[in-house]
Amino acid sequence: MIVRSHLPWPLRWAVVALVFGFSAALSLWAFEFGKSIAGLDKDAKAELAELRIEVAKLREEREGAQSIANTAQSLLKAEKVAQERLAQQIKQVESENLSLKADLGFFERLLPASASGLNVRALQAEAAGPGQVRFQVLIMQIGKNPPEFAGRYDIVLSGTLGDKPWTISQPGGPKPLQVKQSARLEGTVSYPQEAVVKTVQVKVTDNQGGVRATQTVKL
């Protein structure tokens, strides 16, 4: 016995069309869903690329800031060195000022010269330690445009040694001296510690041995 369908052909075509339509709709949905997934992946990649660019930019800014910090630190070190050098220069200037003040005091104690020609304007002497005397001498030529003097000078210590008169000259004896307007001399003279120094004398002689000027001070 054969069972046959009693559905009319138009209805059958409608069912077939419905099935194909459903399949097409399903395929379209799958296609759109796939496009959606692909779009999300594309957006994620684009965002990741932007993040990488941002990270690179931040890294560059950090390196720039680090470079600026290093430069600032170097500048601070250089400024500190400059300040230390300036402080040393200030100390040196202060020391030179003290020396100039001492020289000024030395010159202020000078007496006006009444004679013309070569003069010993001042002689100072003081004990510099056991067996040593420190001296300062100012020698000047008085007059307008005097000729340059060339001769020698000697520092002579006098006193007693073992209750006897005693005299000693500076080591090496008289030393060369040249004076146009003025000459400032200073130094130390050593002597036996057993001796007692009472006077210090400066004696200026010309090249022929003639005494041109002298001055004596008590120690």
pLDDT at 116: 53
Mean per-residue pLDDT, 196-217 = 91
Has residue 147 got a pLDDT over 90? no
Residues 202 and 135 sit within 8 Å (Cβ to Cβ): yes
Q: How far apart are CA 24 and CA 37, in angstroms?
A: 20
Q: Which tokens hold the place of 50?
A: 């932007």
Could you tell me if 113 and 121 are in contact, meaning their C-beta atoms sit under 8 angstroms apart?
A: yes
> Does 122 score more than 90 pLDDT?
no
pLDDT band with cut points at 50, 70 and 90 for residue 36: low
User: CA 70: distance to chain centroid?
Assistant: 20
Exposure letters 87-117 (e unless 16+ CB within 10 A, then b): eeeeeeeeeeeeeeeeeeebeeeeeeeeeee
In DSSP terms, 25 is beta-bridged to: none
Cα 189 to Cα 22, 192, 200, distances in angstroms: 129, 10, 10
| Residue 148, token pair as written in the block | 């340059």
Nearest CA among 103, 121, 146 for reference residue 204:
121
User: pLDDT tens digits, residue range 96-110?
Assistant: 878 777 766 665 555
Residue 39 has pLDDT above 60, yes or no: no
Q: How confident is the model at residue 2 (pLDDT cuts 50, 70, 90)?
A: very low
Which pLDDT score, from 0 to 100, does residue 155 have? 93
- What integer is the mean pLDDT of 196-214? 91
| Confidence label for 136 from pLDDT (cuts 50, 70 and 90) | very high
Q: How confident is the model at residue 18 (pLDDT cuts 50, 70, 90)?
A: low
Which pLDDT score is estimated for 75? 83
Give the C-alpha separation, 119 to 134, whole Å: 21
For residue 119, which of 106, 138, 147 has the smallest C-alpha distance? 138
- The whole model's pTM is what? 0.48
Q: Convert the pLDDT of each residue in 48-91 to its tens digit.
A: 777 788 878 888 888 877 888 788 788 888 888 888 888 888 88
pLDDT of residue 91: 87
Question: Please, are residues 113 and 182 in contact by the beta-carbon 8 Å criterion?
Answer: no
Per-residue confidence (pLDDT) for residue 154, from 0 to 100: 94
H-helix segments, the chain: 9-108
Q: Cβ distance 120 to 214 under 8 Å?
A: yes
